[in-house]
Structure 1
C-alpha cells in the first residue's frame, strides 16, 4: 500500500482532508479514508447490494453480478490503478464501495421508473440517492444521521448531479459537495478514477454475464474490435481454447487481457495528461477543464464501440426489455400504493410521510423503495396488490 509519504503531490492526503460534517477525533490506527471504507462496509445499505440487480434480476441466476460484486470489482480495478499512479488507495476503495448505495432494486429499470414517479418533486438520481444514504438514511450513530464520511469520499460518491440539485445541496451546505457542479470544477483524481473504473468493470462483466445468460454469444462479442483482438491473442497462444468445451476459458482469458489492456491504457494516458497539465496539487486538479484520469483517444473510441454493442444486443435484448418492463411496473405500483397508504411502509418512513407535505411524502416513499432489494420489492408488491409480478 502507498504510504502518505509516497503519495503523489496531486493525490488526496487524509492528513489534509476537508473533514467531516460532524467533527470527530482521529482514529488511533486508521486514516480518515480507511475509516470511511470501514463505515461503508458495515452499513446496512452495503449489505443490501448483494440482492440488487446489476443487469439480470437477482433470482435469474446465482452467478450473475449484483451491485455488491460489481462494487467489489470496481474497487479492485481502482486500487490497482491508484497504486501505480500514487493516488490514495483507501479513498478510491471507499468511493468504489459506496458509489451504488443509492441504486434502486431492478437496476436502471427501477431507477427510471422511480424517476418518472418523482418528476413532480425533483425526480430521482441514483448518485444523489447514494449521497442521501451516507448523509441521512443510515441510522447507526447516537448523535447524527448518516455515516459522517469525509468530504472527499462524499464528493466521489456524487459523481453526477443536476444543476438544480447542486443548488439545493449548496444551499444546505455552502461550499460543500454540490459546489463543484456550479463552479464547473473537477473532483479529485481518486473520484475521477472510480468513475472510469466503474465503466471498465461493467463493460467486462456484462460481456461475461451476457454470454453466460445465452442472450449474446461469444461469436457476437468476437465482432467487437476491442474484444476481438484479445480473443485472437488468446487463441494464438492457446489454440486448445477453440474446443467447444473450452469456450468459457476462452471468454475468461480474452476478458482478462482486455481488462489488463484498459488498465494499462488508463495509467499511461493519465500519466501523460498529468504531465501535460503540470498539476502539483489537488487544487490544480480541480481547476482543470476536463478530467485527467482518462483513456487514450483510441481506447476511448474502442470502449464506446463496446458499450454500443452491449446496449444494442444485451440491454435492449427482448428478454431483458420484457423483464425490465415488468420490474418498472412493480416500482410504479409500489410508489402509488405507499403514497396512498404510507402506513404500509416501515415505521420510520411512514412517520416521515404522514407528517410532511406531498413532496415530503413522495420523498419518503422514494427513499423506502430505493433501499429495497429485488426480492423484498417483489414480496411487498405481491402483499400490496395480491398479484405475482409475472401475472
Structure 2
C-alpha cells in the first residue's frame, strides 16, 4: 500500500501547519482560552478563508470532497497547536450529519455557511447518564402537526456555548436504550425553551449543558431513523480525534526529549541516564503504534458503513486512548514538577490528551465494543 501523500494533500498539510504555527503560539492560546468565546474567532475566520472548513464536504455542496485522510492531516496540525476551535464538532461531526441526513433545503441553508466558517455548529448527543452510549437517549421530542418540540437535558456540548445551531438527538419512539426511535433535530440555541449553562473543560476549552423545555426543533432526516447516521458520523469523528491526539503526542515527545537534553543532574544532561532513555523510547513506541492505527482509521473513515469499518475505528480509538495517556503520564514524570505548572505548555498537552481519551468513548468502552464486534464476526 502506498502511504505517500499526494501533492494536493501535502499542500493541505503545509497550509494547516503554517496557519497553526503562525497564529497559535502558547501565549496566544492562553489568551484565547480566557476570552469570552474560549477560542479565537479570527483563527476560525482564517480557516474558513483558506478553505480548511470546507475540506470534508462534497464539491456540489461547496466543499473540496475530502476524505478521512484529509481530515487527519488537518486535525493532526490542530493537535500540534492544541487549538481550541471546535473544528471536529462543527465541521466533521455536525457537517457530516447534515450532509447525510439533511434535505436539499437544509443543506443549502447550513452547509455553505459551515464550509465558509460563517456558521459554527455543535452536536448534543451525550446525556448525564448515557456514559458514551449514543443510543441512551432520554430527551424526548413531540410532534404537533408539522412542528416538533424537545424536552430534556444534554451534557458536554463542546462549542455549544457559541454555536449558531445545535444538532440534538431526541427520542420519538421506543424505550430509553432502543436504537430505533432516535431522531435528530436542528435547534436554535437562542430560541424559546432553550437554556445553556456554560463552563470550562479541563483542557482549556468551553462547552455547555443544554436544557430543553418544549424547545422548537427542525427534524433532520426521517423521524426515528437517525441512529445509523449518528454512529457512522461518530466514527468519522473518532478518526479525527485520533489524528488530533497524534499531533499532540508528537509535540509532547519532542518537548520531553529537549528537556532531557537540557536538564542537568550530577553535571550531565539527564538524557544520558539509561533508565530515562528507555522511557523516552517507550514514549516513541507508543506514538508509532498510535500513528499506524490512526492512518488505518483515516483510510476507512469515509468508507461505507460495515462491521469491519466499525471494528477498525473502535480498535484505533482504544489504542490511541491508551497511548495518549501513557505519553502524557511519562512526559510529566520525566519532566518532574515543572510539568505540572500552568505556565508550562506540556501540562496543557497532557490535559488535552486525557480529554481526547474520554471523548466519544474511553478505552474500556471501546474494548468492550470491540469484543462484541468480534463475537459477531
Which TM-score applies when normalising by structure 2?
Answer: 0.34
| Higher alpha-carbon Rg | 1
Structure number having the greater helix percentage = 1
Question: With structure 1 as the length reference, what TM-score do the two structures score?
Answer: 0.33
From the two aligned structures, give the one with the greater strand fraction.
2
